[in-house]
Amino acid sequence: MKITVLILLSVMVSGVSASSAILPFLVKNQVFMGNPVPELCMDYFKSSSAKLKLDNINPQFVAEALNSGNALKQQEKYYNFQANIQSLAEKQYADHICDAAEFAPTVLSANYQFTCLEICQSCMPGSAPICFLRSPRFAGLAQVCLCTYDLKNPVDNAAFSIRHEKRVFSRKIRRT
**What's the chain's Rg over C-alpha atoms?**
17
81 vs 134: CA distance, rounded Å:
24
Please compute the mean of the pLDDT values over residues 64-83 and round it to a whole number: 82
pLDDT at 170: 45
Please write the tens of the pLDDT for every residue from 134-174: 887 777 778 999 999 999 999 999 999 999 876 545 444 54
CA distances for 122 relative to 44, 130, 137, 162, 172, angstroms: 11, 14, 31, 14, 36
Percent of the chain with pLDDT over 70: 79
The predicted pLDDT at position 87 comes to 94
Instruction: Taking residues 69-83, report their average pLDDT.
Output: 81
Which are the contacts of 14, defined by CB distance < 8 A and separation ≥ 6?
Answer: 54, 55
What is the total count of domains within the chain? 1
pLDDT (mean) for 15-37: 74
| Full DSSP string of 87-133 | HHHHHHSGGGEE-TTT-----TT-S----HHHHHHHHSTT-EEEEEE
pLDDT at 168: 47
Q: What is the mean pLDDT of residues 18-28?
A: 73
Q: What is the pLDDT of residue 3?
A: 37
Domain encompassing residue 118: 2-175
Q: What is the pLDDT of residues 31-73, one digit of tens each?
A: 888 888 888 899 999 999 999 999 999 999 898 888 876 677 7
Q: What are phi and psi of 35, to 5 degrees?
A: -80, 160
Cα separation, 25 vs 52, in Å, equals 13
Q: Rounded mean pLDDT of the chain?
A: 81
Q: Is the pLDDT of residue 105 over 60?
A: yes
Res 5: pLDDT: 32
pLDDT band for position 11 (50/70/90)?
Answer: very low
Confidence (pLDDT) at 120: 95
Q: In the prediction, which pLDDT does 18 show? A: 46
> Could you give the C-alpha distances from 95 to 105, 133, 135, 137, in angstroms and in order?
20, 8, 9, 9
